[in-house]
Each structure stands twice: as C-alpha cells, then as structure tokens.
Chain A
Amino acid sequence: MARGLGIGMALAITFAANAIMAQTPVVTENFAVRDGFAFAPETPPRILVFRPEIKIGEQTTAGLFQNNAEWHATATRELSAALVAMGDKRGIEMVLHDDQPADNPLMAEHRALFRLVVGTIIRHKLFSKDPLPSKIGSFDWSLGGGIAKIAPAAKADYGLFLLSHDSFETAGRRAAKLVAALMGNGDIAGTHFGYAALVDLKNGDIVWLGVDLKAGGDVRTAEGAAQRVEQLLNGFPARASGKAVAR
C-alpha cells in the first residue's frame, strides 16, 4: 500500500522536473537521472535491451527459494514484450539483445561492472542510507567508453539493463507469516524487486536508474509484466518529441 504512494510522489517529481528541463540530477528514493540528461529530439533513440536477469519462484514454508523454470520463461517473454510496447508508446525503438556471458567476455565484464555500479548507487545515492558527500547534487556514475565495443553491430544509442526478482509465497509460507505477525515477530520482507538502468553506449554513462524494492505486477502475465515495466521505468527520461517539448 505504501508503495503506491511513494511511486505517485516520485512520478509527480519526474514530471515536474522534465517540464522545467532541470539541469540538476533528479534523484528520489526510486530513481535517479543524470545531470541534465535528455534524449536527442530529432530521431527516435534506439535502445538495446540486454538479456534481463530474471529470477522467479516460490518461497516455501521454510523460507527456501524454489526456482520455477516455466514462470521464468513466461516472465522473460512478457517483460521483454512489455519493454518493447512501452518503447512504442514513447517513441523509442527497443531492440532485444540475447547475450550469454560466455559468448561475449567483454559483455560479461561490463555486466559485472554494471552490477558493482548499481550496488554502489543503491548504497550511496538512492535511499540515502550511506551518502557520499562528493556525490551530493550529482549523479555521474559511468561504465566508461569501452562499452561501445560490446555490441557495435546493433548500432544502438543506449543499452537497457533490467533485473527482476520475484519470490511468490506458498500457502504454507503465508500462514507462517500470519502466525509470526500475531506473535509479534513483525514483517518478513516481501520479495518482489527489480531495477532497470539506461546506459549511454557511446561513453558508458548511466543516464537513468530506477529501483523498485516492492514491485507490483505479476510478471507471469502480460498485464502484470506491463505494470511492472511501467513501475520500474518510473522516472525514465521522457522523449522530447516535437509537440510535448516546451518551445
């Protein structure tokens, strides 16, 4: 419930920020945009969607996580489709890119660096848990220009990374939580979360990162996946298409 409110507020802030084309980075609990970033207005940006990291399964009574291969296949399909559809809606060309780490060591290394950078941003920037003073008022993390070499054939302007982790609870788990709550043992954190990030493929700059720790939408369905993508891409830079842009 609290989630809805948080996202609503964040959305409001994004819209406001985009409207005035702010030169300072937009940073909320859930997302951050690079200082003064905007898509080039003339041509639709081409975004390479890297193979999403999806983990989906059930949390059993004992708290053991059990992967579900069928859900994984469905979620991969639906999330990818939802991303492409979202791109269409916003005038962005989304291109799916299937990469496996072993096929492309350079990609694997950049993914690894990306994980470190995301972890760092979550720790030091979003959520204000452990802020780095030098980063106050800026959002300037990068993966470096070497990223231009990971998929040059795709001729894309940007790369999109997406991670989605979903752990559904079995009936036994829900019952156990209820009992725990009654006994005053409080919250056993729900586990639906994800992040997505947009990276400039020319220079490796992270231009936008959205994190959702309490994600909504059942990614095993088309509608749910669309909802998840909509929420994850909260604060995603809008494209200044001719009309919408303040002249």
Chain B
Amino acid sequence: MKRLRHNLTVAALVVAAPIAAQPLELLPTSAGYQPKDAVEQGLWLEMDEAEQQMRASKFLIDDPELNAYVKGVLCRAVGTDKCGAARIYLMRTPQFNAAMAPNGMMLVWSGLLLRARNEAELAAVLGHEFVHFEQQHSLKSFRDIKAKSDAITWLGFVPGGMLAQIGLMGSVFRFNREMEKQADMAALDYLSASGYDPMAPSKIWEQLLGEMDVQAKANKSGAAAQEASDFFSSHPNTRDRMEYLRAAARTKAPSSDDGSERYRVAIARWWPRLIDDQVKLNDFAATEFLLNGLARGNWTADLLYARGELYRARGKEGDLAKAEGFYRQSVSKDPALAESWRSLGMLLLRQGKSSEGRKMLRRYLDIAPAAGDRPMIEAMAREPQK
C-alpha cells in the first residue's frame, strides 16, 4: 500500500472513464462557473468542506512567498486568465504527489517540490493537474464509477481522511490511463506554449521511474520481489508515459528555459526541511537515488549534509566513515552550516574520536547558540573532568 502511495499517484483524484463528448460550454476554470446538476453540486459541497479543513490543516506549508511562487508557476503555465480558478495548497508530506479536486482545490505535496529539479518540471505537474480540473475528469470519473458497480469509496472524507483517501487513489491508478494521457498531452501543449522546456514532463517521470526501481530492488526479496514485479506489470503507465511524453515533446519547439535557478532560489528556505523529511523516512536506497539525481555531480553543502545524515542513520559497515567524509566536505563548502558541524561532532564521538568531536560540537553551538538542543550538546561537548 505504502508503495502505491509513494510515487504513482500524480493524478490522484481521477479515475479512468471513457470521455463522453461534451458540448463546449462554460468550463470550471471560467469565472462564475457553478456546478450544474445534483451530482456535481454534491461533489463541490464535499470538496468545499474538505477545503475548509485543509485551510486549517497542520500539514499546510503556510509560507506566503513559496505559495505565491508555486501559484505563479501555474499561472505562467496555463495562463493568467485561467489559473485564478485553482487554489493551491502545499502540504508537508514527503512523498511525490499532487491532486486536483473538482472545485478547484489543488494539493501539492512537498515531496514533489523536493523531487522537481526545476521550474519546468513543477509546471509540468501543475499543468497536468490543472487539465484534470479544466476537463472535469473527477466529475466524469465519479459518474463513471457510479455507473459501473465499483465499491471504491473515493471522496469518503469523513471527518478528515483527506490524505488517507488520496493514498488509496493509487489503487485505482490503472483505471485512469485515458484521462492521464489526455492531461499529459494538454499539459505539454500548455508548457510548450508558455515557453518552458517541453522535455520537462518526460524527465520528471524518468526520475520517478528510477526511484521506484531502486526502491523496489532494495526493499524487496523473495515473495515481496514478486509482488513488486506484479506491481510494475499492472502499472506500465510510468514507462509508457515517459516515452510518449518524450516523443510528443520532440514535435514541440525546443526551449532551454527550465527555470532551474529561479526554482532553486524559491525553495531554498524550505529545502533543508524537505530533505530532512525524506532522510527520516529511513528509506536509504530511494533517498540516495534522489540525492544523486538532485546533485547531478554538483554536490552542494546541503546535499552533502543530507547524504551524511542518510549514511549515519543507516550506520552499516563503512557508512560512518563515508558520512564523516560527506560532513567534512559539507563544512568546507559552507562553514556556516551548523547542522553539519553537529552531525560531524556526534559521528566523531561515536567513533571514539572524542576530543575532535567535542570541538565540532562547540563549532555548532557557536553558529547556533539558541538551538533547542543546546543543553544536551553542551554537556556532550564539555571536556571530561580530570
């Protein structure tokens, strides 16, 4: 279950259905759109209530600047005339996911922000979700499930249940291929028309596929490995998607604007927390893959620190020595990174290099004198009484 939840549910709130031909009329993305019949009104009501809860959620990343940035990326991608209909909620949840509700509520998990390497990749996912909204995929799916006899209790948000429900959506992924493809293609048009690198969507899928692969190999053995391979055979979408997106991108005008520097700056303040969330999942292989993908040969002080944390937490034979190396590189690149000094000090103490370890801990306290763990670190950094 966790695995399903992990990577695959970009279009979570949507389930597959043959697309009924619809006459052109006011789209939900237009100003003043109101839900039409009882089914749609019911969905909107449910979503509006869920959204009220969402606004009070402890998981919201309540940073006006970051929210404005993400909204700005959506607006550039789909156009400022339309983007106003969507309300974005950034959720502190380390897995890769985004979801779109029929009333315009868009959820973006912080695991997506961590994994996107540039603005174009983020725009690709936001645009994709927006197409689901614009083309009323949720509503169509709901009608379709209603028509079929299917006991999926989607949208069963009582009294909260939002995250859990979205997690469950992974299990209906295989139903939604047509809508996914439709959303992928329309989002690619948006992306290209707004001048972003059209290769971005296939790249983000490529990265996810890689992460899923290493995770499967690392975590599974025996029966579990079989289960994992069953999973892949019933979910060929990711590989397919990556390929058709890449092929379609070649027909678009190439662009080198991926906004990687803008993206880096925009999420810089949150990045240490997001990578910390990922490291604390105790998921070594996926995190190591992710870090390599983010670094692409250019290991920054932050990335080195995160990698040190990952190796130190696993603590297998040789890991501590590697972690020590990462921390040392990290502090040499950025001597102001307090956490690297802290971890390096702890690591040295653990390995019996006490005197140097205590020195490192004192460096940490010098840089971060108001740290909440000061009393403990001070005690650890104190020279033993002779």
Cβ-neighbour of B43 out of A55, A60, A67 (below 8 A): A67
Interface 0/1 of B342-353, CB less than 8 Å to A: 000000000000
* Count, chain B residues at interface, CB 8 A: 26
Q: Are the CB atoms of A165 and B53 closer together than 8 Å?
A: no
Given contacts A66-B42, A69-B44, A70-B41, contact A102 B56 (CB under 8 A): yes
A-B contact pairs, 30 of them (CB 8 A): A55-B158, A57-B42, A60-B146, A62-B149, A63-B151, A64-B146, A64-B150, A64-B153, A65-B155, A65-B156, A66-B39, A66-B42, A66-B142, A66-B146, A67-B42, A67-B46, A68-B38, A69-B35, A69-B42, A69-B44, A69-B45, A70-B38, A70-B41, A72-B45, A101-B52, A101-B53, A101-B55, A101-B56, A102-B52, A108-B56
Given contacts A102-B52, A115-B159, contact A69 B38 (CB under 8 A): yes
Cβ-neighbour of A105 out of B38, B56, B149 (below 8 A): B56
Tell me the B residues contacting A by CB distance below 8 Å: 35, 38-39, 41-46, 52-53, 55-56, 142, 145-146, 148-153, 155-156, 158-159
Q: Once bound together, how far apart are the Cα atoms of A60 and B55, in whole Å?
A: 30
**Given A64-B151, A67-B46, 18 new contacts (CB under 8 A):** A53-B159, A62-B148, A63-B151, A64-B152, A65-B155, A67-B43, A67-B45, A68-B41, A69-B41, A69-B42, A70-B38, A70-B41, A100-B52, A101-B53, A101-B55, A101-B56, A102-B55, A108-B56
Q: Once bound together, how far apart are the Cα atoms of A115 and B146, in whole Å?
A: 31
| A61 on interface, CB distance cutoff 8 Å | yes
Residues of chain B lying within 8 A (CB to CB) of residue A70: 38, 41
Interface 0/1 of A137-173, CB less than 8 Å to B: 0000000000000000000000000000100000000
Residues of chain B lying within 8 A (CB to CB) of residue A108: 56
Q: Once bound together, how far apart are the Cα atoms of A67 and B49, in whole Å?
A: 11
Q: Are the CB atoms of B145 and A64 closer together than 8 Å?
A: yes
* Count, chain A residues at interface, CB 8 A: 22
Of chain A, the residue at the smallest CB distance from B39 is A66
Of chain B, the residue at the smallest CB distance from A62 is B149
Nearest-neighbour CB distance to chain B for A150, whole angstroms, equals 13
Nearest-neighbour CB distance to chain A for B33, whole angstroms, equals 15
Q: Once bound together, how far apart are the Cα atoms of A69 and B52, in whole Å?
A: 16
Q: Once bound together, how far apart are the Cα atoms of A148 and B360, in whole Å?
A: 49
Q: Once bound together, how far apart are the Cα atoms of A63 and B145, in whole Å?
A: 11
Of chain A, the residue at the smallest CB distance from B48 is A69
Residues of chain A lying within 8 A (CB to CB) of residue B155: 65
10 A-B pairs with the lowest CB-CB distances in the bound complex, closest first: A67-B42, A102-B55, A69-B41, A101-B56, A108-B56, A62-B149, A69-B45, A67-B46, A63-B151, A68-B42
Of chain B, the residue at the smallest CB distance from A67 is B42
Residues of chain B lying within 8 A (CB to CB) of residue A66: 39, 42, 142, 146
Residues of chain A lying within 8 A (CB to CB) of residue B142: 66
Given contacts A101-B53, A101-B56, contact A65 B45 (CB under 8 A): no
